[in-house]
A and B are shown apart, each in its own frame.
Chain A
Amino acid sequence: MPPSPSPSPPRPARRTPENARKKAYKEQTDVTNGRRRREAQLLQLRKSRREDTLSKRRRDDASSPSTEPESDIGPASPESDRPSSSDPPPLACATDADSNKLLGIINGLKSENISLQLEATIKIRKILSVDGNSLAEEVITADVVARLVELLSSKKNLRGPQLQVEAAWALTNITAGTSEHTEVVTNAGAVPKLVKLLESPRSNVREQAMWALGNIAAESQRCRELVIDHGGLGQLLSQFNEHAKVSNLRMATWTLSNLCFGKLPSKSQTKAVLQILQQLLNSIDEKILSDTCWAVSYLCNHGTDEIQMVIESQICCRLVKLLMHSSPKVVTPVILALANVSAAADCQVQFLIDSGILQCLLKLLTRNYQKCIRNQACMTVSNICAGTAAQIQAIIDAKMVPLLIQLSQHGESDIKKEAIWAIANATSGGSPDQIRSLVGDGCIIALCNALVLSDADLLYACLNGLESILKVGEMEKMKDEAGTNPYAVIMEECGGLDKLENLQGFNNDAIFEKTIKLLESYWVEEGSEYEAPKDPSPDDT
């Protein structure tokens, strides 16, 4: 094929010969450039088309010979990705010609000839997949939808599976629309039929059915229950087997996460789901992993029973590891889930600490993560700070306090608040030794600075923290020759006492009482204002 390389390669031209230099004089585009660029553009186009063709094949299953890529609609995520109804696309009025076209399609749909049915279904699916298509509203009628649902059960013919896919696809597109649209679909009895399709031997049929069910489940708790009542959950869980293709697993995981968004009817169902999720957490596919973590985080939202089951399923250790995953799509649901777990009972929190969560949180808080992740991380820390003395000690040992103090002063407002909560919690619940250490890191100033906030709950927590600190200060006072409370002194010096006095005007009884109590216990003696003592030791440096 290629010639063998010659023994001594020709030496490169050493200098720019005059005519090359001449070409550079008032250089402008020349023809050959245009030609080369056109060729390069076509090569680029060719390359990307080849990639497209191949990757379509790689995704595809045997029975879907020509799916059009332009009609792909990504799964709607439960919270936000639905097309928003407040922002309607510019709807052109359907013309007569359009109506005639539609009539033809509907006739095809209703015919008994499977080719005509298929053709019509594809056309409907395409109409539905274009945003703002004026015909979409006209297609979504009870009649048409009912017929599409019927076609879900067609299988007599060789092309049956294809028709099933197309019908399910069309329904998927409808369920991606408004709540009313979804209701038309559920009212037409689509759910049991879609669930039935999950038994299909064809993976692309199952995949499309899952997609539709996922969209339906995203709609409301009622819809989720409808899917579960028809055995959708069990069928869905059986999709997770070693023969499944990645694309199927992705779709199944996403649909499962949508079902987990609401509380599951029974504990045994939650358990079964957790078993699958536990396995999926080891997936290397980022999409699967992300949706699995979302499912876990939804479950953790439902209450302490679910959290206890999550802990029992022994996935927390894995979840903690996933905090260090490179993709925020994974880290976000994981930290949401763990934030929930950290709000549970002390023994549950201890699991997390034992799994090494603190080091991970430290990294999340110090590196350049998205704000919501850092915020949840900080909330998790403050939850842990509200735990036992041993847990507070773990926070101190992890060298987290200086970071919290820094965040309490310079963090973005939400994170700042969470950091103050963490400090208040730690000082309220810490042992005297721990409080001494916390004070050493600067907690008094941090709490005093927070006394100007307007959030009553947080203020109260800060006052509680300060109270614990001052109590420990009283113990110090006894050791101290001058007999002063060193922590009270720090409070005065940093202006904390002034802020405390201002709180007497705060319109909240609990806070008022706590403030008075503090002032009376530590400052107001003999009705005179306390004066700061002079520095007892001479400055000899």
Chain B
Amino acid sequence: MAMEFTQALLAAQSPDTQTRTAAEASLKQFQEQNLPQFLLSLSVELSNEQKPPESRRLAGIILKNSLDAKDSARKEYLTQQWVSVDPSIKFQIKESLLRTLGSSAAEARHTSSQVIAKVASIEIPRKEWQDLIGKLLGNVTQTFAPGFLKQATLEALGYVCEEVAPQDLEQDQVNAILTAVVQGMTSAEPNSDVRLAAIRALYNALDFAQQNFENQVERNFIMKVVCETAVSKESAEIRQAAFECLVAIASIYYDYLEPYMQTLFNLTAEAVRGDEEQVALQAIEFWSTLAEEEMERQDDCVALDELNSPVLHFHFIDKALESLVPMLLETLLKQEEDQDQDDTVWNLSMAGGTCLGLVSKTVGDKVVPLVMPFVERNIAKADWHSREAATFAFGSILEGPSVEKLSPLARSGFEFLLSAMKDQNSHVRDTTAWTLGRVFELVHRPASGDPIVNEKNLPGIMTVLLESIRDVPNVAEKVCGALYFLAQGYEDAGPASKALTPYYESIIAALLSTADRVDVSNVRLRASAYETLNEVVRCSYAPETLNTTAQLLQEIIRRVIQTVELQVVSSDDKEKQSDLQALLCGVLQVIIQKLGSSEGKSVILQAADQMMMVFLRVFGCRSSTVHEEAMLAIGALAYVTGADFAKYMSEFYRFLEMGLTNFEEYQVCSISVGVVGDICRALDDKILPYCDGIMTILLKDLSNAMLNRSVKPPIFSCFGDIALAIGEKFDKYLIYAAPMMQSASEMCMHLDTTDDDMVEYINQLRRGIFEAYSGMLQGFKNSNSEIMIPYARSLVQFIEAVFKDNSSDDLVTKAAVAALGDVADALGGGIKVLLANSSFYNELLSECLLSEDYTLKETAEWAHTLIQHALQS
């Protein structure tokens, strides 16, 4: 077998398909027939110095993939599979992995350290393989151990720390790891590969070092070694890794940072000014991280104010500001040619500007006087680097400082920015357009008394923007962004939003032709153009833009039809078609909502047939799934058409079903469930003919373990929507739906409430269940309310359980109180039995009656009155 096994591993990498397939099959067969032996063979192959590197490599990969997977269900399966392997075989596998760390083949060592970490991630939380850390440390602390063994072992230690959670290691193990790692970093270690591996291991071990950082002596030592490593002369890689550690320390151990800040400032400043770019970037990253950390702490301080916040906040950014800002400004001058046309570039000027933006968000107004002299000094210089840097600096500080502080600057800078849109350098134009967008986004307040964009300068602005949108694609994209924010500023600005009306048609025309540009190599410009179009339509002053929007509607419909008629050959074509349809359906949705809620409703009604036809054709472009954006737009359309939507149902139903059954693409399923609710409200009992089908699918979805859980709460809400729409006719579904609601209610009581995501999910589920009950109770109220009697008790119990569980949020409480009122409303005196011997409902109601939330209070009053009446009847 041994030789055959090697052959199979080699053949599985053969370029010849037939050979490869056969080899893969035989490996699979081996795996299925005897998994433990298969795993053992893999580890033996990996550790055998006599074997060819190719077979060892593949053996390592297969072994790794037998232990871990991205998909959490698969990972759980693999974990169980490993756990059930015979301990003696596991022992042999682990021994050969450890042995491989000393292999002379670098690749085998590397793979082995990864696999060791995967095994550790399964076993260490289970308190197994407890001697692993000791064995690894033994390798490192041997005085005469070869460098490559130390290097691989440190790498393994790092990976183990990455895989295992801090609580799974004992403190003395942590201490030993840190000692070994820090030892490996010092200049006493002659081998620079070992030092690099050590510093990278430290990076992963930092999470475990809480106690060590609390201790001043240990902390001082760790910081000293890291700082020394950050200026080590050997290699940029080592210094970079040291700075990465400092970045991590800035966010994990912020609380202990104060004594080191002067040193750290000097270190980072030297790196930014003099070291190689990869090191300098990390030094800037240190300040970006610190700024983010301080912003977060500012928020926490505000949020925790009343509790006498224990959050430490040293205002490092603020204190370093006068030296930090000039350092960042210098980096802005280090642009590369054409960096804005290449998405993969990340250099000093980009990192510096981004950091300046974060600093500005952290300190606000204070940054302005430190940056403006630089802007003024450089903005008109002959060298484009200076002009671009000045503009970028200005654009970067627009978020954070107050509008009052920025308004005069923006006002006086407008003219200049507009003229810079004609700069001969495209990089300058790109940055200028982006800066204009930021001004519109952050400083433009049309409803204020003295808006920076006014009737005097708006014509000039529009002329420039409409001209520059024809510039090279990357500039055009930024111009779209500028138009986007300019329009968005007029949202809810009342009559002030009339200001854009005179340009409405030309903006639309410009955006449509931008979307049509053929010189677009990246798809982003087209998407930006359509998204900007949406914003312009959404924020326009409806009474004046109605006709133009109606024309746009026709144009978009025409464009969708074009996409349907496109020749689609390759999968690439298909994807392009689908993306374009998504953008266009998005525009249709925006237009439907804009016109449908105003006097333009008749326009939508007139075009409804056309639009439905278009949506159905879009659906027709795919075989197995439906288009999300088209589905969303249909939901919006149903609200406008109301009961008239019935005429589309016979054709649309097929696609609705397709969406509802698509549990692999759960977003599609989720959107479709929502649309069922929309249609219920539009059609009322005219939805009846489709309910058998819909209910069957929804019930199946609920019990489908593969369906993403986030879809399940909306399905319950949807039950309520259907029950409300069809009233007593819901009776035949009740016996299927109600048990689902009951078991989901029970499950809510037994889920883990320590995990925030889970709590959020439980609350969504609770709301969904209550909405289902409410819909059914109200649906049956007038005709056949007795049918709900058998289920009322478990509802009341559920309400009680939710009330007593303090993880429920206000929305859940409101839904619970409403459902309580609905029981009383529907069953009247019938609730006496249910509420006998219980008093929780009085507590619940009186708690809600004291609430500051007006709607909750109102709901509680309503429920209270109904219950009182029911109890007295």
Contact = CB atoms under 8 A, between A and B. Distances in A.
A6 B632 contact: no
A16 B284 CA distance: 13
B747 interface: yes
B467 interface: no
A7 B724 contact: no
A245 interface: yes
Contacts of A54: 724, 774-775, 778, 818
A81 to B, nearest CB: 21
For chain B, the bracket of interface size reads 35 or more
Interface in A264-291: 284-286
A45 B720 CA distance: 16
Interface string A10-45: 010011101001101110111101110011011101
Nearest to A246: B865
B346 A285 contact: no
A325 interface: no
Nearest to B168: A8
B861 A284 contact: yes
B604 to A, nearest CB: 15
Nearest to B345: A22
A142 to B, nearest CB: 34
A3 B873 contact: no
A242 B869 contact: yes
Contacts of A363: none
B109 interface: no
A14 B203 CA distance: 11
A14 B204 CA distance: 10
Contacts of B73: 3
B514 interface: no
A14 to B, nearest CB: 6
A101 interface: no
A1 B484 contact: no
Contacts of B528: 28-29, 31
Contacts of A42: 589, 632, 635-636, 674, 678
Contacts of A15: 247-248, 251, 285, 289
Given A21-B351, A38-B590, A243 B778 contact: no
B248 A14 contact: yes
A9 B705 CA distance: 20
Given A39-B671, A54-B775, A6 B76 contact: yes
B778 A28 contact: no
Nearest to A63: B782
A399 interface: no
Contact of A14 (B207, B292, B705): B207
Contacts of B292: 16
B666 interface: no
A54 B635 CA distance: 19
Nearest to B702: A1
Interface in B646-687: 671, 674, 677-678, 681
A53 interface: yes
B523 to A, nearest CB: 9
B822 interface: yes
B866 interface: yes
B455 to A, nearest CB: 27
Contact of A246 (B477, B761, B866): B866
B251 A2 contact: no
Nearest to A28: B481
Given A246-B865, A285-B861, A58 B636 contact: no
B862 interface: yes
B55 interface: no
B758 interface: yes
B354 A5 contact: no
Contact of A7 (B125, B478, B484): B125
* Chain A residues touching B, range: 35 or more
Interface SS majority for chain B: helix
B33 interface: no
Nearest to B828: A243
B755 interface: yes
B125 A50 contact: no
Contacts of B61: none
Given A3-B73, A38-B586, A42-B636, A57 B781 contact: yes
Contact of A35 (B125, B582, B635): B582
B724 A57 contact: yes
B434 interface: yes
B365 interface: no
Interface in B391-443: 395, 430-431, 434, 437
B192 to A, nearest CB: 24
Given A2-B709, A16-B288, A21 B632 contact: no
A49 interface: yes
B472 to A, nearest CB: 15
Contact of B724 (A2, A34, A45, A53): A53
Contact of A1 (B437, B531, B744, B755): B744
Contacts of A159: none
B478 A26 contact: yes
Contact of A28 (B478, B589, B709): B478
A46 interface: yes
A50 B677 contact: yes
B593 interface: yes
Contacts of A24: 354, 357
Interface string B515-543: 00000000010011001001000000000
A26 B434 contact: yes
Interface string B498-516: 0000000000000000000
Given A21-B351, A29-B484, A42-B632, A35 B586 contact: yes
Contact of B252 (A9, A14, A43, A285): A14
Interface in B730-776: 744, 747, 751-752, 755, 758, 761, 771, 774-775
A41 B639 CA distance: 13
Given A38-B632, A54-B774, A25 B350 contact: yes
A15 B288 CA distance: 10
A31 B531 contact: yes
A18 B357 contact: no
A541 B396 CA distance: 67
A62 interface: yes
A49 to B, nearest CB: 5
A24 B602 CA distance: 43
Interface in A229-250: 242-246
Contacts of A33: 531
A43 B674 contact: yes
A39 to B, nearest CB: 6
A246 B720 CA distance: 24
A9 B866 CA distance: 45
B527 A31 contact: yes
Contacts of B671: 39
A14 B292 CA distance: 12
Interface in B584-599: 586, 589-590, 593
23 contacts: A1-B744, A2-B712, A6-B72, A9-B755, A11-B207, A14-B248, A16-B292, A21-B351, A24-B354, A25-B346, A28-B484, A31-B531, A35-B629, A38-B586, A38-B589, A39-B632, A42-B636, A46-B678, A49-B681, A50-B720, A57-B781, A284-B861, A284-B864
Interface of B: 72-73, 75-76, 125, 165, 168, 207, 247-248, 251-252, 281, 285, 288-289, 292, 346, 350-351, 353-354, 357, 395, 430-431, 434, 437, 477-478, 481, 484, 524, 527-528, 531, 534, 582-583, 586, 589-590, 593, 629, 632, 635-636, 639, 671, 674, 677-678, 681, 702, 705, 709, 712, 717, 720-721, 724, 744, 747, 751-752, 755, 758, 761, 771, 774-775, 778-779, 781-782, 818, 821-822, 825, 849, 861-862, 864-866, 869, 872-873
Interface of A: 1-3, 5-9, 11, 14-16, 18, 21-22, 24-26, 28-31, 33-35, 38-39, 41-43, 45-46, 49-50, 53-54, 57-58, 61-62, 242-246, 284-286
Give the top 3 A-B pairs by smallest Cβ distance, nearest first.
Answer: A28-B481, A2-B709, A57-B778
